[in-house]
Amino acid sequence: MPELLETSIKALEIAKLLTAEIPIPGLSTAVECALGVAKKAQEIKDTRDGCRALAERATTLVIALYQQLKNGSSDAAVQVHVTTFLQDLQAIENLMDRRLRPRTRERIRFVFKRRKIADEVKVLTTKLEDSFRVFMIQAALALNQDMNMLTSGHIRMLQHIDDSARIGEVVLEDFRDIRTGLSDLAHRVGERATFNGNFRLFARENLILLEPIVDSYNPQRTTSTKYGDERTVIQTVAQPRTGRVFRYRAVVKATGELSGTQVVVHAYPNHDDQRFVEAVKFAKQIYHPHMLVMLGYSYPGEPGEATYIVMEDYIPAVEYLSFLHSADKLQAHLKIKAAIAVDLRTIASAHVDTMVQHWLSLIFGPIGAYRDLLLDRSWRPHWENIADYPRYPLGVWLGRNSSREDWTYLSAQYPGLEVALTMSSKPSVLPDPRQGRNFWQRFKDMDEWLRIPESDLGEMCIEFELGTGWNQTRWKRYQFSCIPVNTTLLFQQSVHALDRLAASAWMMRTLPDPSVVELYAHISIAPRRVYFTETTVTMCAHAAEQAASPLWFFLLQFDSGDHSAHESNIPCGFWSSEKDPASVPVDFIFDQTPQFVPIEEGEEAPLFTSTQALGDLVFTTQTKMYTAILQFSEDELLAFKAASQQTTTAVWTTPDKSIASSFSNEEYPARLHCRSPSLFSAL
């Protein structure tokens, strides 16, 4: 205990020197009073009455009080509490004086009053503790108040900063509006679209958008093959998708004689979009009474701003074609398609056989041109098992009398048919078959392409071969750095004629005998065959939510045409952790039980299913196929009849390459085909 008093005395002596500069009344006196109490308590020898303990406690609390107030305080309540604390210290100091210097008479009585002194010490201790406790509570409240003031000040400062930023944005927006207004005033007068002699420059306020027109986008890659071992890649570059082009139906306003006209607006992502530049250039070259006319386009904007082209909202060709029939309608279609590429006089003066052969070449394309413009034409998919030979070969005349009958061959198969293969550059995401939806319903709702990381874009639809000789198989490789677990990916392949003009020439020379044709009410051909391969990735229940990547998917190319069926021990697609596997994996489970999937109401398609496990992932791959059966319209049949009635026996001698360049990317060779008596003379 003596050591504690000595330490407290030294601390109080230092504090006494420093409190002279602290502007708090009574603090210096309290420190000096506590110092006197400590020194007097040090002289007391008897500790049984608690005076020395009281002195030690008083000095400790005074030092704590000094530490709390050494930085100053302007609070009036603090000064009041310091004064109260000083009064308690003075009372303790008076007790110490009485205890230290009693008179002789009182020393005799002191022995009998020890209990009374101890009670007085206890009272003073309680008062001292209460004064210090009240002081600390007041100090804590003052600190909390200061923190609240600091917080509210910080919030107000942030509000001021936010208000300043908002005001700045308003000012900038007003500045942009002013600049836009000045720019508009510079380009038009009296709220009219500027006319530059040929086309108008439409501002956004000149157009009232009514409704969007849904467009579809289908990037494709095309490869081709011949029978045997000779294989040639024709095209391996996918069409880039830099941004969607949206179409809107709109009404023109404030443009003079065009006010109130209904138009179609083609909106492009930005002013630098190459498609916008090419579309404007292409539209400026069009001047034909049966084709859509561009009315104008948007003002030249800044880089990154959306641009648009304003077109007529009707198709003159539809109205024009509705009054034509037979070969005249087909010829009009060819005129419209070739109006930009070649001289119209070339098409107008073309031989009927040449025109019909061109028409058939369009039908043999990967999609089939103008199939929607001939409203009386119909087509049906004939679903087949890929493990069987195709029932209807490509490029064969077919006939039947009702939809309940099978098609009958009316001509021989083209022996030299070479096929081309059109494939998707990247997979689509097929919606889940919830609520009993069939395949076509899911297919029509498919509006999403799989999101491909930038690192995988260059590794999509890569040509890959496995094996050699007759055992060689061709595949397309797709890289996936992010494994699409619980997602169904859809890959499409379209098999069609490589040399469409050669196939159409064969069709013309194999026209069946009229006595045979008159037995059938419907005449058709099979122009293409389409394969759908679905692969679904699932994860084992015990597996972690993370899979090793990347993985590669290999899609089998169905490029064997009509000469082979798919072998049951070869998967239509497989996954691999190797980028360049040496062979097809053997750990497949092929479901040999007949499986069917609903296509639409009353129709099912057979499936070829295989299952593969790779680590904790399970891959289920299913493939189905249909042959497209295209039934000719009445106008087409009449055109074929007119072509068949020509007296010449040469269907194709030396075709005009200027015409052919409009319909085919392949070189157009000279051919000579002789035809037997025409089939359609009886029509």
210, part of any domain: yes
On whether both 205 and 122 belong to a single domain, the answer is no
237, part of any domain: yes
C-alpha 466/C-alpha 471 separation (Å) is 8
**pLDDT grade, residue 161 (50/70/90)?**
confident
pLDDT at 428: 85
C-alpha 326/C-alpha 342 separation (Å) is 23
Q: What is the mean pLDDT of the segment spanning 467-483?
A: 83
On whether both 7 and 150 belong to a single domain, the answer is yes
Rg for the chain, CA atoms, rounded: 48
Instruction: Say yes or no to pLDDT of 652 above 60.
Output: no
On whether both 12 and 153 belong to a single domain, the answer is yes
Better pLDDT: 350 or 298 = 298
Token look-up 């061109």 returns: 358
- Torsion-angle region of 231 (φ positive above 0: left; ψ -120 to 50: alpha; else: beta): beta
**pLDDT grade, residue 363 (50/70/90)?**
confident
Helix (H, G, I), strand (E, B) or coil at 333: helix
Give the chain's length: 683
Q: Show the domain range for 239.
A: 194-220+230-314
Q: What is the mean pLDDT of the segment spanning 129-155?
A: 73
Helix (H, G, I), strand (E, B) or coil at 255: coil
**pLDDT grade, residue 413 (50/70/90)?**
confident
Give the least confident one: 343-352, 353-362, 438-447.
343-352
Give the type of residue at 350. A
393, part of any domain: no
Helix (H) or strand (E) holding 6: helix 2-18
Which of 113, 141, 158 is the endpoint of a domain? 158
Domains in the chain, number: 2
Better pLDDT: 618 or 296 = 618
Buried b (16+ CB within 10 A) or exposed e, 416-426: ebbbbbbbbbb
508, part of any domain: no
On whether both 77 and 154 belong to a single domain, the answer is yes
Give the least confident one: 478-482, 524-528, 594-598, 659-663.
659-663
On whether both 137 and 201 belong to a single domain, the answer is no
Question: Terminal CA-to-CA distance of the chain, rounded, Å?
Answer: 131
Q: How far apart, in Å, are the Cα atoms of 107 and each of 17, 111, 604?
A: 37, 7, 122
On whether both 18 and 139 belong to a single domain, the answer is yes
Residues 370-399: pLDDT tens digits? 444 454 567 788 898 887 878 888 888 899
C-alpha 231/C-alpha 254 separation (Å) is 60
652, part of any domain: no
pLDDT at 557: 86
**pLDDT grade, residue 242 (50/70/90)?**
very low
On whether both 149 and 198 belong to a single domain, the answer is no
150, part of any domain: yes
C-alpha 38/C-alpha 57 separation (Å) is 10
Residues 91-133: pLDDT tens digits? 776 767 666 665 444 554 555 455 666 666 666 677 667 666 7
Cis ω for the linkage preceding 550 (within 30 of 0): yes
On whether both 154 and 22 belong to a single domain, the answer is yes
CA 622, chain centre distance (Å): 26
pLDDT at 532: 92
CATH of the domain at 273: 3.30.200.20
37, part of any domain: yes
On whether both 278 and 147 belong to a single domain, the answer is no
**Residue 247, beta-bridge partner list:** 213, 266
Which of 158, 174, 206 is the endpoint of a domain? 158
Buried b (16+ CB within 10 A) or exposed e, 169-190: eeeeeeeeeeeeeeeeeeebee
Q: What are phi and psi of 574, to 5 degrees?
A: -145, 155
User: Any residues with CB less than 8 A from the CB of 508 and at least 6 apart, and which?
Assistant: 353, 356, 357, 360, 643, 651, 652, 673, 675
Helix (H, G, I), strand (E, B) or coil at 290: coil
**pLDDT grade, residue 667 (50/70/90)?**
very low
Q: What are phi and psi of 51, to 5 degrees?
A: -65, -45
